[in-house]
Amino acid sequence: MQTIDHDRLYTDLQYRFDYVSQFVGFSKRDQELIQLSGTVVGGLVPTIVDAVYDKLSNYDLTWNHFAQEQEGLQLKQDEASKQANQVTMGSEVITFRKTMLTKYLKKLVTAEWNLSYLKYLDWVGHIHTTTPLKKSTINVEYIHINALFGYVAAVVVGTLQKCDEWDEEVRDDIVNAYNKFFWVQNDLFARYYVKDRVLSEKEVRAVEAEERAKEDVIRKQLRSESLTNAAVGFAAGTILGAIGFRYLGSK
């Protein structure tokens, strides 16, 4: 029987990730399998992103969140006025959010699994909640987050199950790896919603300091990636979208 430090689960990100990963069986091999799947999933990213936002647009409660101030997005005055009245699929805010989801999915199949990437996964959970450390006011209730995770998992897994790039055993292992990953990522959202434990003042200060440092690093990385990706985005999007059509159709 392993001895788990209860308090560290709430103050040490790496320790929490290691515990949850070991519990669900998310291993180094699973991480390698997700990277292996990048040859297919990378090409499906535009189609997956479109499917996600089509789903979000089906419900007023999920779509209305995009009328709020968005972390990392500064709208032009005329666009901000339009957004206050109505958000459409062609709005600047939706283009921005699609870009962020695209980066997330591409990172998933290319990034090294180190502390820097783990902090990024944790930041993705953090920015969807309202905390004193955030500049934006967006707060997506957990019921919608959980439902969206289920949908994204179904889209990705359903697509992988149709692929013939690998033999059946490897394909099943890849599908299983993604299933476990989504539960691990879900925990990094839930930690900002579920109050299992009240932190001491000292622990709160330590966590806040870590969050500030983490967000500064991630924002710099995203700005750098935006500059790099802008030069090749249009051509790559066209090619990847065509590949995605093969698997998901023109929905």
167-200 pLDDT tens trace: 999 999 999 999 999 999 999 998 888 776 666 6
Best CA proximity match to 20, nearest among 187, 159, 136, 152: 187
Mean pLDDT across the stretch 150-173?
A: 90
67-107 pLDDT tens trace: 765 555 555 544 544 444 578 888 888 888 888 899 999 99
Q: What is the dihedral of CA 228, 230, 234, 237, to 10 degrees?
A: 60
Do 20 and 215 form a contact (C-beta atoms < 8 A)?
A: no
Q: Kindly give, in sequence order, each residue whose CB lies less than 8 Å from that of residue 204, ignoring residues fewer than 6 positions away.
A: none
